[in-house]
Structure 1
Amino acid sequence: FAEYVTVREDRALALKPANLTFEQAAAVSIAATTALQALRDKGRIRAGQKVLINGASGGVGTFAVQIAKSYGAEVTGVCSTRNVEMVRSIGADHVFDYTKEDFTRSGRRYDLIVDMVGNHPLSAYRRVLNPEGIFVIVGGPDGNWLGPMVSPIKALMLSPFVSQEFGMILAQLKQEDLNILSDLMQAGKVTPVIDRTYRLSEVPEAIRYLEEGHARGKVVINLEHDSKP
């Protein structure tokens, strides 16, 4: 954690939208870029598509819901009971409460699935993906669930008999993408969701909260708070 960093001006900088606080702006870069690149680059999202976001209430998921809506998609979010109304409030057309209903057995099908959770076998995701749909893996809460899925996903990617597409995303910060996100936020189409803000001295508490896996949107560390008497 640092108050100041040195970066190349032409790589990872964009002007902060005037309608965002510094706390909101701090929550944008990696999470929002990941959501944008997963939807646009890997998912090739188009207006009118049915898009499902698994992990819709998390840091990447809250951005993914809003960015997908900005593309004109019909968006379904998956989250827990306590987050259903929040996910609706940021634009989701439909919301599955995973504590009550398994979206992989709902009978609905999707053109694009962006998954941040990895809590179902690959066969279950394929069941709700349209024949020419795209499935994009972003990551998991503990960082290790992707391992068992890599081999079957690679096999499907190489198979000439599978019309569905499968991919993984590791975001790369690009100035042009930060500018796109800035425009979306200035237009009011995307707003960072901040769950909690902590002082620097409270970082251990913030990390413990994140490890519980129930954060809504982003958790922000405000260094300025510790500099005041």
Structure 2
Amino acid sequence: MASALGDTMRAAAYESTAGGLHKNLKATSSWPLPKNAKNLSKDQTLVRVSYASLNPVDYKVPELPLLGRFVFSKGVPGLDFAGTVIESTLPHLKPGERVFGETAPPSFGALGEYLIASKEACVPIPDGVEPKHAATLGVAGLTAYQTIAPFIKSGSKVLINGGSGGVGTYQIQIAKILGCYVTTTCSGANAELVKSLGADEVIDYRSQDVVQTLTRSGNQYDLIIDNVFADADLYWASPKYLKPEGSYVTIAGNAKFSVIKNILSIFLWPKALGGGQRKFQFVTCVANAVQYAELAKWMAEGKLKAIIEQEFSLDDAGKGYERLKTGRTRGKLVVKVT
């Protein structure tokens, strides 16, 4: 029972982000329990975490110059988790049941021994699915689903810019499960990986000009998902390879002036004056228990698999974020919490 807990827990925590969150993350056994851990509110579940998986938002938010300094000056990072129910106010979740999901900023907390999850973001792990695999579905799996399912139908052609990362590896698989033809970009070193996941065509962005290659191909796509969005070149040229009724979706972006200028031009300038010629939108992952259950079902059936590059101990969680910051991970990075 939650009331039998002590007042502290083991966690990988930081008390500063100076020089980067990864440099300040340290394992401790005396971090305070999550607020309300002993007195859950409606629709909350207290989970003992077994695995967490890492996402860029975990460090990008705390490292923001002002927000990080005043709102996230210290804490336990991590959104994605898998673990065991300790107590729940939800009637369908019982103590001892295996679950997975995500927390939400500003809570984070997946790199702690205990966390509190909401109704839409805490779902049973099916039999036959390993907890560390389920832990990777939280943000990456759900983002992949929400960038594909609403925009396509069976037979659609999908282009994924950046297919070998945590979200991309799931996007390829989900697009194939839903009956799509998939083209993806990645480095040549990851070509065999994305092909093994079902990619029909692969463009090596290091040896090929992506825009020129797409233009020459003659393919007309129903959906383009840009996981990189380092610049807007792929979007501005998209009328050559994205159908007029197609959608251009991104989950990325940065604070560079050139990127912000391009985004404003896409949204604010009329088409006739050089504004966006194709539908453009950002997609932000929104917790959805029904969609989580679908992803877990596919995983249990062997249709969807987690690609895990490396597993870290809680003591080495900082090294995990250091690796994530390179932008070169193949699939997901996970941390064994308990």
Out of 185, 199, 216, the position equivalent to 1:92 is 199
User: Could you tell me whether the CA contact under 8 Å between 1:104 and 1:128 is conserved in 2?
Assistant: no
Alignment gaps of 5+ in structure 1: 225-229
- 1:70 is aligned to 177
- Does residue 238 of structure 2 align to residue 125 of structure 1? yes
Q: TM-score when scaled to structure 2?
A: 0.60
Q: What CA deviation, in whole Å up to 9, does each residue of 1:7-48 have, x standing for no partner? A: 23x32121113232111111111111111111123xx11111
Match of 1:179, SS? helix
- Does residue 321 of structure 2 align to residue 203 of structure 1? no
C-alpha deviation, 1:99, in angstroms: 0.7
Out of 147, 167, 173, the position equivalent to 2:260 is 147
Distance, in Å, in 2 between the alignment partners of 1:174 and 1:139 is 21
When you count helix as a share of all residues, which structure comes out higher? 1
- 2:223 is aligned to 112
Distance, in Å, in 2 between the alignment partners of 1:126 and 1:175 is 36
- Does residue 325 of structure 2 align to residue 189 of structure 1? no
C-alpha deviation, 1:144, in angstroms: 3.4
- 1:51 is aligned to 158
Out of 141, 149, 160, the position equivalent to 1:32 is 141
When you count strand as a share of all residues, which structure comes out higher? 2
What is the number of residues matched between the two proteins?
218
Decide whether aligned partners of structure 1 residues 126 and 202 sit closer, same or farther in structure 2, where only a CA change above 3 A counts. Answer: farther
User: Could you tell me whether the CA contact under 8 Å between 1:153 and 1:167 is conserved in 2?
Assistant: no
Distance, in Å, in 1 between the alignment partners of 2:266 and 2:301 is 37
- 1:101 is aligned to 208
- 1:175 is aligned to 289
Distance, in Å, in 1 between the alignment partners of 2:261 and 2:295 is 33
Distance, in Å, in 1 between the alignment partners of 2:321 and 2:145 is 25
C-alpha deviation, 1:162, in angstroms: 6.8
Distance, in Å, in 2 between the alignment partners of 1:62 and 1:175 is 21
Out of 105, 113, 116, the position equivalent to 1:3 is 113
Match of 2:116, SS? coil
C-alpha deviation, 1:163, in angstroms: 6.5
Distance, in Å, in 1 between the alignment partners of 2:117 and 2:320 is 26
- 1:16 is aligned to 125
Identity among equivalent positions (%) equals: 33
C-alpha deviation, 1:215, in angstroms: 0.3
- 2:10 is aligned to none
RMSD in angstroms over aligned alpha carbons?
2.0
Alignment gaps of 5+ in structure 2: 1-110
C-alpha deviation, 1:81, in angstroms: 1.4
User: Could you tell me whether the CA contact under 8 Å between 1:104 and 1:127 is conserved in 2?
Assistant: no
Distance, in Å, in 1 between the alignment partners of 2:126 and 2:252 is 28
RCO higher in structure (CA 8 A, sep ≥6)? 1
**Equivalent position amino acid for 2:141 in 1:** A
Q: TM-score when scaled to structure 1?
A: 0.87
User: Could you tell me whether the CA contact under 8 Å between 2:186 and 2:202 is conserved in 1?
Assistant: yes
C-alpha deviation, 1:222, in angstroms: 0.7
User: Could you tell me whether the CA contact under 8 Å between 1:132 and 1:163 is conserved in 2?
Assistant: no
Q: What CA deviation, in whole Å up to 9, does each residue of 1:133-180 have, x standing for no partner? A: 21001115xx43653432123137x75997632111011011111011
**Equivalent position amino acid for 1:164 in 2:** R
User: Could you tell me whether the CA contact under 8 Å between 2:185 and 2:203 is conserved in 1?
Assistant: yes
User: Could you tell me whether the CA contact under 8 Å between 1:59 and 1:217 is conserved in 2?
Assistant: yes
- Tell me whether 27-36 or 161-170 shows the greater mean CA deviation: 161-170
Decide whether aligned partners of structure 1 residues 144 and 216 sit closer, same or farther in structure 2, where only a CA change above 3 A counts. Answer: farther
